[in-house]
């Protein structure tokens, strides 16, 4: 199964992204771009990164009625992204519609991943704001099972949840895990972190790494270190 390091390119403009990518002359990268960059630069930023031979995880976290998500996914599929995502809380029907929209006429499609509960949502907020009373890990596993039921490829989760997701949904169900830090690096605002080597040990399929690479003095060196630790 493909395992890879995905670089979270949390830059706010195309110029910053291009400046960053220009440092990598030999590597073919997997780049995550999020709402800020996509809303600022539009589909052109996807085309620019793809033109350079890199893969793209378009992290837009869609959540709407099934028909709208299906049509939006068709557009993203035509953009030739490699991975995109939806909120599992949009229901199994919404995830099935997303998958349908994403699948091209020849049967090929980008990977489709679900967001379970955002790590910014505490159990208390889930209870008070959303009226969900089950424990967080039970909710996360239920959402992951729903994603699997809908035919999705995996979930974004904390590295600490990756093993349980695999136990619940099977080894082939992908776990995409942010919150990765080098043992000797800055933790920043992330709370529960793992090193790339630990993420490998617990069975993460893709790690999403932002600042440890993008803010490093030498991003190419930091990326190579991350790949070496994660892929072994």
CA geometry: angle 203, 215, 191, nearest 5 deg: 50
> In sequence order, what DSSP letters do the residues of 92-127 get, joined into one string?
HHHHHHHHHHH--TTS---EEEEE-S-TTS-HHHHH
Tokens 């557009």 belong to residue: 75
Of residues 115 and 132, the one with the C-beta less far from ligand C5P: 115
| Residues 11 and 17 sit within 8 Å (Cβ to Cβ) | yes
Q: What is the number of other CB atoms lying within 10 angstroms of the CB of residue 226?
A: 23
Of residues 80 and 186, the one with the C-beta less far from ligand C5P: 186
Per-residue CA distances from 28 to 12, 65, 92, 130, 224 (Å): 22, 36, 34, 41, 12
Of residues 76 and 208, the one with the C-beta less far from ligand C5P: 208
Least CB distance to ligand C5P at residue 96 (A): 23
CB under 8 A, 24+ apart: contacts of 77-80:
77/101, 77/102, 77/103, 77/104, 77/109, 77/110, 78/104, 79/43, 79/46, 79/47, 80/46, 80/50
* Distance in angstroms (rounded) separating the CA atoms of residues 8 and 31: 6
Residue whose Cβ sits closest to ligand C5P: 210
Least CB distance to ligand C5P at residue 48 (A): 19
Catalytic residue among 3, 14, 50, 61: 61
Least CB distance to ligand C5P at residue 179 (A): 6
Least CB distance to ligand C5P at residue 175 (A): 12
Of residues 100 and 123, the one with the C-beta less far from ligand C5P: 123
Q: Which residues bind ligand C5P (CB under 6 A)?
A: 8, 10, 34, 118-119, 156, 178-179, 190, 208-212
Of residues 66 and 111, the one with the C-beta less far from ligand C5P: 111
149 annotated active-site: no
Least CB distance to ligand C5P at residue 225 (A): 14
Q: What six digits make up the tokens of 90?
A: 């949009």
CB-facing half-sphere around the CA of 115: CA atoms within 13 A: 18
Write out the catalytic residue numbers: 61
């Amino acid at each position: 199964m493909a395992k890879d390091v995905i670089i979270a390119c949390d830059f706010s403009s195309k110029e910053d992204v291009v400046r960053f990518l220009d440092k990598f002359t030999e590597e073919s990268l997997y780049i995550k771009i999020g709402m800020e960059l996509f809303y600022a630069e539009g589909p052109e930023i996807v085309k620019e990164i793809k033109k350079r031979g890199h893969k793209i995880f378009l992290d837009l976290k869609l959540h709407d009625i099934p028909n709208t998500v299906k049509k939006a996914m068709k557009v993203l599929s035509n953009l030739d992204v490699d991975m995109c995502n939806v909120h599992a809380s949009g229901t199994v029907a919404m995830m099935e519609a997303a998958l349908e929209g994403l699948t091209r006429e020849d049967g090929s499609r980008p990977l489709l991943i679900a967001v379970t509960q955002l790590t910014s949502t505490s159990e208390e907020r889930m209870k008070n704001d959303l009226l969900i009373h089950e424990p967080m890990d039970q909710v996360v596993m239920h959402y992951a099972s729903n994603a699997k039921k809908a035919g999705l490829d995996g979930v974004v989760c904390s590295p600490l949840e990756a093993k349980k997701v695999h136990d619940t949904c099977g080894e082939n169900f992908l776990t995409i895990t942010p919150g990765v830090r080098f043992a000797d690096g800055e933790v920043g605002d992330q709370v529960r972190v793992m090193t790339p080597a630990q993420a490998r040990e617990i069975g993460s399929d893709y790690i999403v790494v932002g600042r440890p690479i993008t803010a490093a003095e030498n991003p190419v060196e930091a990326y190579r270190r991350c790949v070496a630790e994660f892929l072994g």
